[in-house]
Structure 1
C-alpha cells in the first residue's frame, strides 16, 4: 500500500489526474488508510483542473464540514443532476446556506427519488404530504407510503400519524378467525 500511495502521488505530480483521484478515493472511503476528508479534499481539488469528475464527493465533504457556501457552487456544476437534488432538498428544508423553502425542498426530494433510493427523502415527502400538513396531498402520500413499503424503507409511522402495522404471528396464521 505504501508503494501504491507513492505511485499515485508521482502520477499526480506528472500530470495524471487519475493519481490524485485514486488518492482522494482512498482517503474519502478510508480504504487501506484512515478516512480523512481533509486529505481527500486536497486531492480531489487537484483533479478539478483535469477532466475527472469528483463533484459528488466534494459536495459530501463540504456538506459534512458544514461549509454550505462551498457546497452550492459544486451543486451548480451537476448539470446532469446525478447527486445535487438530495442536497438541495435538505438544504432548502433546513435553511443550510439558502433560505428555508419547503416547496423547493419537496421539488428536490421528488427529483432525488428519480435518481436513487433516499430513505430520508421518502420520510420527508411523507411528512410534507400527510393530511395535517400545509402541503397535504393524499395521492402523493399514498404513493410514497407504498414506495416505502415495497422498498422496505423504515419510516417513522408515529410522526406520520399512522398505526403500527399488525404483526402476523405464527399463532394468528394458524387460527385465523
Structure 2
C-alpha cells in the first residue's frame, strides 16, 4: 500500500499537509502497511515544507534502502520535533494510530470500504482492539451479504461513517 500524498512537485508544500502525510505514513507503518522508507519520504516533505530539526534531518537523510534498520534510531525524536506522538510498534496506541490511518485511506478512496473492514477484522478480530470492533462487525455483515448476494451500498455508507468517526 502507498500512503496518499497531497504534496507535489508543483509549488510550495503546506506545512499542515506535510505533518498529516507523516501521521498517515506513521500509522500505516505501525500496522505493517508501508515500509520505513515511507517515513523517510515524509520527513523529506516536512523539510521542504519548512520544518527543521536535527533528528528530522537525520531521518530524511536515511537511505531508503536502509530505512528499515535506521529509521527507528531517529523516529521518536523527529516526531517530537514536529509535534507528533511516538508509540512503540505493537502497542495499543500504535494499533489505534494504524487503524485511523487506514480509515483515512478509505476516506481518500485509496481503500474500498470492504477492504477496510476485511483488513480490520483480520488484523484485530473482534476482541483485540475495541476501536476496531464495529469494523469487524461490518465485515461479518459483508460476508453475509456476499453469501445472500445482497447489495452492499448501505454497508459501504456505514463503513464510511465509521471511518469518519475514527478520523475525527
Structure of higher RCO (CA pairs closer than 8 Å, 6+ residues apart): 2
TM range (shorter): 0.3 to 0.5
TM-score (norm 1): 0.31
The TM-score, its normalising length taken from structure 2, stands at: 0.32
